[in-house]
Structure formats: C-alpha cells, structure tokens
Structure 1
Amino acid sequence: MLAVAQIDYIRHEVNQKGGTYSSVARKMEIDPRTVSKYANQEEFKKREKQTRVSPVMGPVKPIIDKWLKEDLKKKKKYHRTAKKMYQQLKKFHSFQGAYRTVRDYVSKRKYELREDYREAALPLESFPGTAQVDFGTAPFEYYSEVIELPYLVMSFPYSNSFYFQVFPSENTECLLEGLQRMFQHMGGVPRVIRFDNLSPAVKKVMAKGNRELTQTFERFTLHYGFKYEFCNPGKGNEKGHVEAMVKYVRNNFLLPECMITELDQFNETLWELAEEDRNRPHYEKRIFQSELYLQDKEEWLLLPEKSFECVRYQELKADKYGFVSLDDKQYSTSPRFAQQRVKLCISYNSVMVLSEKNELIVSHSRLYGTRRKSMVWQPYLDLLSKRPKAIKYSNIYNQFPEVWASYLRNCTEEEQKEALRLLGKLLKNQDFSLLNEALALAAQNGHPSTDQIKHCFYSLYNNTDTHDAISTNLVVPILPSVTRGLNHYDTFFKEEVHSNG
C-alpha cells in the first residue's frame, strides 16, 4: 500500500493537471494500474489487519492466557516465566512450536492484559473484580436503649452485590478490621477499591488530586496489594453504587431497629443475609447476581499468607494518677507509671498499655459512647497492699466505689493491707457490684473484718444464706472471775480436813 503523500500526488497529477496514467507511473516508478486505482478510488476505508490462523500457537493461546491471568493475581516473584510455560506446554500439552514463539506471545499478552486492567480502573462500574466502600448509620436496640451505630458496606458494581458489618465507630481501626473481615470471608481482594475521602484513610486532600494517607491505611493497602481510588471532594456520585447500596442495606436489613447483645455474634449473621440477597436477577443484565458475583470473584487478587495487624501505636504521657487520655476517654495504667510516657496498642475493640520494653502493663476494652473512664484495679491493688500508707496521699480513694472508699478510711494500716489483698483476689473483670453488696451486708453490724466480708461475698456468690450466722453483736454469757495461783487448792483441803474432824 502506498503512503498517503504518494496517493495524494497521484490524484493531483492525474485529476488536477491531466497527466496520463503511464506518465505518472514512469515518474513514480510504479505500475500504471496502481496509478489508475488510486486516481479513481472513491473512498478510503481503514484497512483491517488480517489475523492469520496459527496452527501451532492457536490451541495453546487460551492455556497461556489462563496462566497469565492467574499470575496477575499473585506477587511478581510467584509468576511463571515464559520458559516455564514453554516447558509445561511441551510436557503436558504436546506443544511442537519453538520457545521464541511462546516468549513473544507471552510478552505481548502480558502488556495487553495490564492495559486492560488499567482501563478497567477508570469506568469502575463496568468491570468485574472492582469494589466501592462507604459507611452508613442505622439505629440499633442495645440493652433496651436505642443507639445509632455505623455499618461498613463494600459493594461490587459489576454484580450489584455487597457485604456489610456493623461497628461501634468510623475510626481507622474499625475501617481496616471491616475490610479485612470481608477479604477473609470472600477469599480474595478486589483489584480496585474506590473510597470517599474517609478521615480514617485520608489525612489531607492536596492539590492536583493528591492525598496524604494515614500511615496505617497506607500499610494496609501495601499488604493486600489492591489499587485504591478516591472521589473528588464533593463528588460522592463518583461512588454512586455504594451510596445506593448503603440505603438498600439499611432499608432491607437494619430497619426497624435490630436488637444487639453481642456485636461480633450479630455480625456473623450478616454474611448469609448478603449472600442470600444475590439470588435475584440483575436489574439490567437479567442474569442472577450470584452468577455475576462469581465473575467478580475470578478477577480478585489472592489473599496474602498472613493477616494484617489492624492496630496503631501511640505514645502518651500518664497523669499523676497513672491515667492516659485517648479520644477523650481515660484509661488506667499503673501508679508506678504516673507522669511517665507509655505506649498504647490500639485496635477497634481494645487498648493495651505497654512499657518501654513493649511489656503488657494492662489491657482495656476500648470505650465508645458515653462511658468516659476504664479502670483496671489489679496494678493499683498489688502496689497499695504493700504500701497502704501511700493510699492516703494518692487520692486513689476517689477512684474506688464510695462504699469501699469509706470502709478503707476507717481501717487500721493492717486492716487496709488485708482489705486490699482481698480486693486483689476477689475482683474479677473490674466489676465491684458483688463486692459492694458483700461489704454493705457485712457492715450491717458495725465495722467488719476482711473474713466477714469474704464470708458474705462467697455466700452471695454461691446464693447461700450463711452470712446471718456471723455477727459482731454476739450475746456472750457472763463468766465468773478467775483467780490465778494455787490458793483455791489450799481452801479445798482445809474444808476436807474440817469435815473429817
């Protein structure tokens, strides 16, 4: 085929200047029939590239494509080489072609497949293996009280399906815990996930679409290998599928208020609800969503061997009582760490206090809602039982329940030691309720001893009624006075001699 400039010259010389086919052909050193063809051609369609049938490579191309798609779900170090593919084709598929032919095809197809995935990241709704993520909120009944809790939704636009989990907050730890739970339940990781500019993931939106990510979220994406995308500020419609799914989940699964007693158990029931919802035709494709979901699944990345530790670490200074403040909540450490820095290991449901050597000092359940303080007493009781005088100068009485604070103020030093040792032994899960009841019961007849408190505690614990047998106001009969020495024996013998006489 002639170049465009040559065709333009032919048409100008023949049609505009009146040159003959043969004269133009002699000037260009081509066949006159070629000159005639291009001078009189009416339209110039793009010539389609001819696809030649390859009898050697044709049967094995689908096999190589399958291997390449599998490898793209793995880390590069686990990819098959072209040489390895060639060896497997020869050994298991009776391939008769040359290694160079396989190598060239593998190189070309790798590039094409990567380009396909790059293009798939733009129109996110149109391709399998992609997802969108967002939080919603709904009311829940928790111990007869209606509270509002967030729930995390991951939607799959291609199959119009989803998963969701309920959490106590929208913080970084809850976001990552939710994503990891979904990945593990799904058995794979979406190639591309689109987010709104969630504060648990994005610290700052900068110019030209750049974002400064939170350190924990950045490590999470590296661990699981998915490509993340964020909507432009104020453009929530760019993740319209998940926004619609947030409303769908609330209306169909969370209203009216669901009753929750234990959040993790409640979340376990939500997997099945989401999977049953796929047993209906897609609103446009007229194929069951469960079938489309399988196509989504085929495009997911493989899970890494190890789970991600969904925690963050933070150093804080304890106050004079040994408390640290996190998210406007207070957590106890130990009196020996008062006014010192400690390290916190923070997950979505726990706060662990660590020493400089990363030794566990104490572990708390993470506080949400209106509760402001978490107190773990054991570190305080152990120290105070050895140094009871320190209790008067530490204001630690303010941290005890009032009934125990009053009791300890009226104890002698030795009684304080015994009382604190008893508390250290009987206090479980930081729950003073039974101990408070035992102390109040034992104190009905005056200032009780630790043995009396202990007896009342176990009576209440075992639902017995033997505490009535113990009383400080026992009625004791009056005994005769006792004289010491042997004089009473002399009196006895004198009386005996007198009677014999």
Structure 2
Amino acid sequence: MDQVHVIRHKVLVEGRTQRAVARELGVSRVTVKKYLAQAAPVRHEAQPRPRPVSEAVGPRIAALLAESPRWTTAKQRLTATRLHQLLRAEGYAVGVTVVKEAVAEWKRQQREPLVPLTYRAGELAQVDFFEVVVDVAGVRRKAWLFLLRLMYSGRDFGWIYERQDQISFLDGHVRAFAHLGGVPARIAYDNLKPAVAKILAGRERALTLRFAALVSHYLYEPSFCRPGVGHDKGGVEARGKAVRLQALTPIPSADSLDAINTALLAQLDGRVDTRRAGTTETIAARFAEEARLLWPLDVPFVAEAPTTVSISPRALGKVHGAWYSVPCEWADLDLVAWVGATTVTIVGREGTRITHPRQPFGGRSIDYRHYLRALATKPKAVREILPDLLRDLGAPFPAVWDQLVADHTPLDAARQLATILGVLTAEGASAVIPRLEEALRTGAPVRLPRRATRAVALDDEALPATLRDIEVASGIAADYDQWLQDGAA
C-alpha cells in the first residue's frame, strides 16, 4: 500500500506523467494506471482457480456428513479433525485445512435462513423454565425460574419454584397473568411435559388435561416450537440467561424462597424505565399500549391438582411421596388432597381444610396439635415428642412445661401435661389458655383438672315404664372387698 500511495501522489499531486513514474519506480505503466483508477485494487481472475483436491474429495465429505447422524450423537459428534482422519484412512490425500473449509461450507448451506421478526402489542408472549441456584435459610439448593416475557413491550414476569413440575408450571401462569393484569393472545412454548402429552404431525400437539384446562380458562392460543430447534423462542431464552446474570448474581440469599421471589420481581419491574431494545420507547411506554390489548381476567385458574389420599392409623396421609398429618379422628379415611406449588391441603369429610407446606419426596410435615386427643392418654408419648409438641402448641405451653418440671418429676410432669391436653381438647383453647396464663402469673400450681360433669336427674316420665320401679344402689369400696373375700373362700 505504500507504493500505491507514492504512485498516486506523484501523478495526482506532483503532476508527473505515468510513463515517468513507471520508469522511476521500475513498474509497468499498466500497474500505474491500475493504481490510479482504484486505490485498493482487487484481484480479478478470468476463471476460478482449479481445486482438484477439493473437487475430488468434496462428494465424499458431503456423504459422510449426511450419514453421520446415524452413527453419532450430539456429544459424540463428527468433528472436522476426525473426518480428516477417516478420509486419510480411506486413501484420500487431503489436508486438514481443505476438510475444515469443506465442513464449514457444508454447515453454512445446511443452516436455516432466519427472518427478522416484528411483534404486535398483546399478540405474543414466550415462556420457559431455567435452572438457577439460591440460598434459602443458609442452605444452597437448585431451583427453577419460571419466566414469561411479553415480546412487544419486553415486560417480564419471573418466579422461582422448588421443582419443575406441572403444578409449578400452571401456578407460574396464574401469577404472571395476575401480575401483568391480562392474558396475551398467544404464548410460545417448548414441547415440555407439563404441557404436551404427545407430539403429533407438524405443529399439532396433544395437550395434557390440566394444561388444556388452563388454556380453556384463559382463552389464549398455545404455540409450540419445533423439536430440536433452539431459536423458535429465542427472546425468552436470551432473557432468561440475562436474568440469571443480572438479577440472580451473586446467588440470592434469604430466609425463605418467597423473600427471594419478592426481591426478584421488584428488580424485574424496576426495568420498565429502560429503553426497549431496538426501539426508541421505554418498556413502560410500550407496556401501557400493550396492557390495553391483553385479554381481561375474570377469576384465577386453580393451579392446585386434586388427588385421593388414604389416611393411615397414625393419622398420616402420603401425597406425592411425602407424609402429612391430619386430626387423629380422620384415621383410616379416604380423603381428597389439593397439591399446590408450595402447599398441600387435605380436606376432611365435613369440609375442614388442613394445610401443610409442601415437602420433598420422603419428607414429613407433622403438626402434633392434630394428636391432642390421643396424647391426653399417653404421657410417655408426650415425653417422646415434647420439643415438637411445645413448638406446635406455642405460648404459654413452653412456660407451663417448665413450671411442671420444677414442681414434679419428669414423669409426673408429663402426666400433668397430658391431663391439660385432655382439657384443652374438651374445652378449647379460649377456655384453657387464660387459666394457664393466670396460674403462671400468680405463681399458683399449674393444675387443670377436668371439670366434673354434673349428673342429670331424669323425671319418671322420661324413663320407660318397665324401668321406673327399679332401684340401683350405689356401690362402695367395702362391697368390692367383701366380694373378693367371698371369691377367695
């Protein structure tokens, strides 16, 4: 390029002739004329240069690449280096650079052409799950981020779940629609199991029953991506990666997953004043336009799934591999449980609902207040479960136990507590707790005997005629002693 500059300067600036410059620099006049016409000359060939090696080996490379899916996998794929080795083994005298260029060209020709898309307000949203890591109460665990993205405005909704199941999938939609204030006309998905029961021909899908119920409830069109194609919903996939890097780095930490979700949602909503990529408008401005076109909500869809549960003699029900307690009066019954994303609710025959935090497979959630009637007659059982029992009962029972232990032996204290539990079952907390608090406040012994039931005198008219003349004498201990002596004799 230095010589080009000198030639152009001498002719165009200094006014020298092309012949003189060519003679001075020792180049052809044709070269001087070419540099004057084009400062950065391009090589022009009358016909393409022959490539005998590429032409000879090209068909075989294409054939091997086309056949390779039958004897490779995504992780054990055919690389250009390995293909070069196979060709050399077949007797082809070819260099690795030629093979790499041929493979790159073959891939380019096979690549699907992409079309830049535009989105209309209220028309399309995209949904996906992303694996994330969170610290809950000091324990690091894997979790799943449900992300719904409105493609016109760029408004996002995200919620983190402990599991990636159908209930969490449905619950994410219910929360997203409630938070955004409406439903888009169409939502794009992968072919994930919570939604798709079977992939049919083309874009047709057989939906799972619960997902079909969600779609019918909110009246939107589900749209599914082609299997194995990663760019059919690239908007939410790119946004999911950005959320992990921007909102979930460093790893979020809180005492509960709800606290982490509250902070995440506030951070996502805080983006509305930023500019929507590819436009001159903010996310908030475009969402204001889009919100008017979302399908209005009526009543929320119930994301909980019903299932039958058989209650064991220990008043425990097994739901999705975890155990949950119910009142001991429900033992040996078959009931209905409603499984939610974070809760499990078991419904009794009379309509009473017992709700527990949802446990992982093999976990247990036991509330010992459900066993008060049984514990009233089992002082030894009271001692075995005492810490958990006092935790579930709450104040003032820990203080009551401390007072009982101070006044009695541990066994007698357990008996006294069992008696108190019996009274609590019979009379209710509103009648028992004030009496316990009064005893603790005054320093009186913590005793809570059962209130005696008064005998009810019946009129003669209330008795059958055949029983009115019968008199039953009251028994005394001396009578039983005499019967024992008579029996011994």
TM-score (normalizing by structure 1): 0.53
Match of 1:402 among 379, 384, 393: 384
**1:375-394 alignment to 2 at 5 Å?**
375-383=366-374, 385=376, 388=377
Deviation of residue 352 (structure 1)? 1.6
Unaligned runs of 5+ in 1: 1-121, 406-422, 472-501
Distance 1:469 1:365, change over 3 A: same
Q: Matched residues in 2 for 1:159 and 1:199: separation?
A: 28
> Distance between the aligned counterparts of 1:443 and 1:306, measured in 2?
54
Over the aligned positions, Cα root-mean-square deviation in angstroms equals 4.1
Q: Say which SS state the counterpart of residue 146 (structure 1) adopts.
A: strand
Q: Is the counterpart of residue 449 in structure 1 residue 443 in structure 2?
A: no
Q: For 1:68-115, what per-residue CA distance to the aligned partner results, in whole angstroms no more than 9, with x for missing partners?
A: xxxxxxxxxxxxxxxxxxxxxxxxxxxxxxxxxxxxxxxxxxxxxxxx
Give the letter aligned to residue 358 of structure 2.
Answer: R
Q: 3-state DSSP class of the match of 1:342?
A: strand
1:430 matched to which residue of 2?
Answer: 392
1:56 corresponds to which residue?
none
* CA distance, structure 1, for counterparts of residue 177 and residue 253 of structure 2: 26
| Pair 124,295 (structure 1): closer, same or farther in 2 beyond 3 Å | farther
Asked if 1:232 corresponds to 2:196, the answer is no
SS in 1 for 2:272: coil
Deviation track 1:342-370 (CA, whole Å, cap 9, x = no partner) reads 11122222222123x462253222224x8
Provide the residue aligned with 1:365 in structure 2: 357
Cα contact 1:352–1:360 (8 A) shared by 2: no
Aligned match of 2:145: 151
- The answer (yes or no) to whether the contact 1:452–1:470 under 8 Å persists in 2 is no
Distance verdict in 2 for CA 1:201–1:365, change over 3 Å = same
CA offsets per residue over residues 239-295 of structure 1, 9 Å max, x none?
211111111111111111222224445434444422332333333234433333334
Change (3 A) 1:469 1:337: closer
Matched to 1:222, the amino acid is S
Alpha-carbon separation, structure 1, partners of 2:211 and 2:358: 20
Measure the CA separation in 1 of the matches of 2:220 and 2:396. Answer: 51
Rounded to whole Å, the distance in 2 between the matches of 1:404 and 1:196 is 50
Structure 1 distance, partners of 2:230, 2:315, is 44
Q: Is the 8 A contact 1:330 1:372 kept in 2?
A: yes
2:252/2:260 contact within 8 Å kept: no
Q: 1:281 to 1:466 in 2, by over 3 A?
A: closer
Unaligned runs of 5+ in 2: 1-114, 421-432, 447-489
> Structure 1 residues 203, 336: closer, same or farther in 2, change over 3 A?
farther
Relative to 1, partners in 2 of residues 1:331 and 1:290: Cα closer, same or farther, differing over 3 Å?
same
**Superposed counterparts of 1:340-355, under 5 Å:** 340-355=333-348
1:452 CA drift (Å): 6.6
1:201 is aligned, of 195, 199, 224, to: 195
Matched, 1:332 2:325: yes
Equivalent AA in structure 2 for residue 128 of structure 1: A
User: 1:76-475 counterparts in 2 under 5 A?
Assistant: 126-129=119-122, 130-303=124-297, 305-355=298-348, 357=349, 359-360=351-352, 362-368=354-360, 372-383=363-374, 385=376, 388=377, 397=381, 402=384, 404=386, 430=392, 439=401, 442-443=404-405, 446=409, 447-449=411-413
Query: Alignment identity in percent?
Result: 22
1:362 to 1:187, Cα distance in 2 relative to 1, 3 A? closer
- The separation in 2 between residues aligned to 1:155 and 1:436, in whole angstroms, is 50
Deviation at 1:222, TM superposition (A): 1.2
| Residue of structure 2 equivalent to 1:104 | none
After superposition, the Cα gap between the structure-2 partners of 1:243 and 1:232, relative to the gap in structure 1 and judged at 3 Å, is same
Q: In the TM superposition, what whole-angstrom CA distance separates every residue of 1:406-435 from its partner, at most 9, and x where no partner exists?
A: xxxxxxxxxxxxxxxxx9xxx677368996
Alignment deviations for residues 145-164 of structure 1 (CA, whole Å, 9 cap, x no partner): 22222221111223333121
Contact 1:333–1:361 (Cα < 8 Å) also in 2: no
The amino acid across from 1:343 in the alignment is V
Amino acid at match of 1:367: Q
Matches of 2:296 and 2:385 in 1, distance apart? 58
Q: Is the Cα contact below 8 Å between 2:200 and 2:206 reproduced in 1?
A: yes
Contact 1:403 1:440 in 2 (8 A): no
- Paired residue type of 1:309: V
The question of whether the paired residues in 1 share the 8 Å contact of 2:369 and 2:393 is answered with: no
Q: Deviations over 1:166-195 (max 9, x none)?
A: 223223332222222221222211110111
Q: Contact 1:200/1:214 (CA < 8 Å) preserved in 2?
A: yes
Q: Distance in 2 between matches of 1:290 and 1:242?
A: 18
2:5 maps to: none
Contact 2:167–2:303 (CA under 8 A) maintained in structure 1: yes
Structure 1 residues 467 and 330 mapped into 2: Cα distance closer, same or farther (>3 Å)? farther
Partners of 1:281 and 1:359 lie apart in 2 by 51
1:353 aligns to what SS in structure 2? strand
Residue 70 of structure 2 is matched in structure 1 by: none
- 1:140 shift after superposition: 2.0
- The aligned residue for residue 60 of structure 2 is none
